[in-house]
Amino acid sequence: MRKIALAVFAMLAFCSVAVAQNFPSRPITIVVPFSAGGPSDAMCRILAERMKVALGEAILVENVTGAGGSIGVGRAVRSPPDGYTVSFGHLGTHVANGAIYKLGYDLLADLDPVVLLPSNTMVIVSKNAVPAKTLKEFLDWLKAKATPASAGTAGAGSGSHIAGLYFENLTGIKLQYVPYRGTGPAMNDLVAGQIDLILDQMSNSIQQVRAGNIRAYAVTDTKRVESASDIPTTDEAGLPGFHMTLWSGMWVPKGTPNDVIAKLNAAAVDALNDPAVRKQLENLGLQMPPNDKLTPQALGDWQKAEIAKWWPVIKAANVKVE
Ligand code: MLT
């Protein structure tokens, strides 16, 4: 009996090594929990285009949206731990949502970190019809409004929502949140003047700002964004201390073999260090993570630290979700 058990165990170990060695042997799916055309989707597609070269297999980007990105992450969590389904997400989906939704999965226990990805500075943008040219004038306009201004978000817990909560907390100005399945569709309505503002990711707003279709007031970082250096920082523009960057990352279902995670990580690091890819991402205003923070372990440690930092803040905001 002991001999049979040992034989089965050896066979299983051999199989998982064989599986890892042959990984990937079919297309990989990256689940983006927000709409196509938005900031998460755009970054993921740029990276996937380069990662498929290193992995030698096609990479499909699947947009599974809803509930601040928690539905798409759940889809990845419930997938086989074999490396063929990757969860793309950020501070909202892999930190904030754990303090807002009854997820049905655990962000730390049910997922393995793969790689930390570039981060987005947030930018305060409004429709062009707003009679304000500076952040001060914009804040005065918001304060003078009889009803709360409409702020587009990608749902409760999304980056644009967390930034909104932080903005309300700092300014005392109430916002009326208008949830979309991503800030891609929210941006269409902002350009059309259907909503008043978005606390948006720079990479989603930058082209519309450059085209003059929306107005930008300030970026939520201590330094200006190189590819949009005409936009002042919140410190410069009169909202000191409003600092927030939205970092992104990739995860796989818990139990995915380490060798497989290492291959996915190596392909992502390869892409992040590709000069053409970096240029594309930096042109969108994205900031590269330091190379020593690109290990799976580094993402795991960072996610834990961010959960410790943000959950008390978010729980205190008492966010209601249907
Ligand atoms: C998106 O891609 O739509 C965003 O990441 C949404 C958000 O978190 O604001």
Q: How many CB atoms lie within 10 A of CB 3?
A: 7
The binding-site residues of ligand 1, defined as CB within 6 angstroms of any ligand atom, are 34-35, 38-41, 90, 92, 154, 158-160, 182-184
**CA distance linking residue 108 with residue 286, whole number of Å:** 26
Atom 3, ligand 1: residue with shortest CA distance: 182
Question: What's the mean pLDDT when you consider all of the chain?
Answer: 95
Mean pLDDT of 79-101: 97
**CA distance linking residue 120 with residue 154, whole number of Å:** 15
Report pLDDT for 315: 86
Atom 5, ligand 1: residue with shortest CA distance: 40
Nearest in space to 31 (alpha carbons), one of 300, 250, 247 = 250
Q: What is the atom index within ligand 1 of the atom nearest the CA of 68? A: 8
Distance 200 CA to ligand 1 centre (A): 8
For a pLDDT cut of 90, what percent of the chain falls above it? 89
**CA distance linking residue 241 with residue 247, whole number of Å:** 18
Distance 149 CA to ligand 1 centre (A): 20
Q: What is the atom index within ligand 1 of the atom nearest the CA of 153? A: 9
pLDDT at 110 over 70: yes
Adjacent-strand bridge partners of 176: 150
Report pLDDT for 280: 96
Mean pLDDT of 222-246: 96
Distance 182 CA to ligand 1 centre (A): 5
Nearest in space to 260 (alpha carbons), one of 85, 32, 89 = 85
Judging by beta carbons within 10 Å of its beta carbon (0-12, 13-18, 19+), is residue 62 exposed, middle or buried? middle
Cα dist from 25 to 38, 53, 57, 75, whole Å: 30, 14, 7, 22
Distance 154 CA to ligand 1 centre (A): 5
Report pLDDT for 317: 81
Ligand 1 pocket test: which of 183, 199, 202, 203 has the largest number of ligand atoms within 8 Å of its C-beta? 183
Atom 2, ligand 1: residue with shortest CA distance: 40
Cα dist from 120 to 10, 206, 248, 288, whole Å: 46, 11, 8, 9
**CA distance linking residue 73 with residue 242, whole number of Å:** 28
pLDDT tens across 256-266, in order?
999 999 999 99
**CA distance linking residue 73 with residue 88, whole number of Å:** 8
Report pLDDT for 162: 94
Mean pLDDT of 269-282: 97
SS3 track for the chain: CHHHHHHHHHHHHHHHHHHHHHCCCCCEEEEECCCCCCHHHHHHHHHHHHHHHHHCCCEEEEECCCHHHHHHHHHHHCCCCCCCEEEEEEHHHHCHHHHCCCCCCCCCCCEEEEEEEEEEEEEEEEECCCCCCCHHHHHHHHHHCCCCEEEEECCCCCHHHHHHHHHHHHHCCCEEEEECCCHHHHHHHHHCCCCCEEEEEHHHHHHHHHCCCEEEEEECCCCCCHHHCCCCEHHHHCCCCCCCEEEEEEEEECCCCHHHHHHHHHHHHHHHCCHHHHHHHHHCCEECCCHHHCCHHHHHHHHHHHHHHHHHHHHHCCCCCC
Report pLDDT for 19: 65
Q: Quick one: pLDDT band at residue 9, thresholds 50, 70, 90?
A: low
Ligand 1 pocket test: which of 30, 31, 34 has the largest number of ligand atoms within 8 Å of its C-beta? 34
Mean pLDDT of 190-215: 98
Q: What is the atom index within ligand 1 of the atom nearest the CA of 184? A: 3
Q: What is the atom index within ligand 1 of the atom nearest the CA of 161? A: 9
Distance 20 CA to ligand 1 centre (A): 32
Report pLDDT for 306: 97
Report pLDDT for 22: 87
Number of residues written out for the chain: 322
Q: What is the atom index within ligand 1 of the atom nearest the CA of 186? A: 3
Maximum separation of any 2 CA atoms in the chain, in Å: 81
Ligand 1 pocket test: which of 73, 201, 314 has the largest number of ligand atoms within 8 Å of its C-beta? 201
Asked whether the CA dihedral 28, 31, 35, 39 is positive or negative, the reply is: negative
